[in-house]
Amino acid sequence: MRFINPKTDYAFKKIFGSEQSQDILISFLNAVLYEGNSTIRELEILNPHLGPRIRGFKDTYLDIKATIADSHGQTETVIIEMQVLNVEGFQKRILYNAAKTYSNQLAIGDGYTDLQPVIALTIVDFEMFPELDQLISRFVLKERTYLTDYSSIYDIELVFIELPKFQKELPDLETLMDKWLYFLKAARKLESVPPSMEAVPEIQKAFAIANQANLNAQELDELEHQEIFIQDQRNSIRKALSQGIEQGIEQGIEQGKLAAQRAIAQQLLGVLDDETISRTTGLDLEAIAQLRTDDSLNP
């Protein structure tokens, strides 16, 4: 058997976001949000599109948006996205989508007490927070100095899973979360369903959906185009990094370390966000913002 790459947009939606995938999504969310406990009892997959569009973004959409109800009757909205490239504006888009989903709950005449929590779950195929060791990072509203919670419930929670930090191999899988993350990371390379994963009905079903034999020619063509696009974008980033480093070294010999850093950052403006450029070059965010201003004044 050959399996499609679950990390591509089309495959991710097909596996986790279709009407017949509710049990798969419940199992996945219980695994990564609730430590494998059967917290989610019911789930409804909603319309994934948001409007209006924002200037500067090609699309303002959510990969999957669902309403979940737990065993205590608490209702929450969870928005799930798989992101394979660290593109400019990505982090702001996540926050925007979460805030918009939170505010859109109210109709005219509704009270603020009707607002239910929103969880934005984002799985990324790159390291977002290299300074943090944990695989999953959860951000909520807290007081800056004393870290006191803003409210008794987390109205908006941003959850990030960094797949490169998941290093377990097949013999090391223990928890339900381990198995789901291994599915996301390694399914494309497998030739059969591992027995330990086949024992989980929802994961077995996910493998069946991901089996290339169950896809038609149009679906396979769409997947191939997405894979090519992702690879082209990654190659563009590598090329920019390589050119930037080479140019930076040459200029650095003549002009010093700061000029070298600026030269590298200049090459990366069109392909990486400011925080990633800062981590790559060592320049602070203010200096990078100034480079963007200078670049916009020199068409």
Predicted local confidence at residue 226, as pLDDT: 65
Predicted local confidence at residue 236, as pLDDT: 61
Q: Kindly report, residue by residue over 234-279, the tens digit of the pLDDT.
A: 666 566 666 665 665 555 554 566 777 787 888 788 778 888 888 8
Predicted local confidence at residue 58, as pLDDT: 41
Helices 217-255 and 9-16: angle between axes, nearest 10 degrees = 130
Distance between CA atoms of residues 74 and 71, nearest Å: 7
Predicted local confidence at residue 232, as pLDDT: 59
The list of the chain residues with pLDDT below 70 reads 47-63, 71-73, 213, 222-257, 295-299
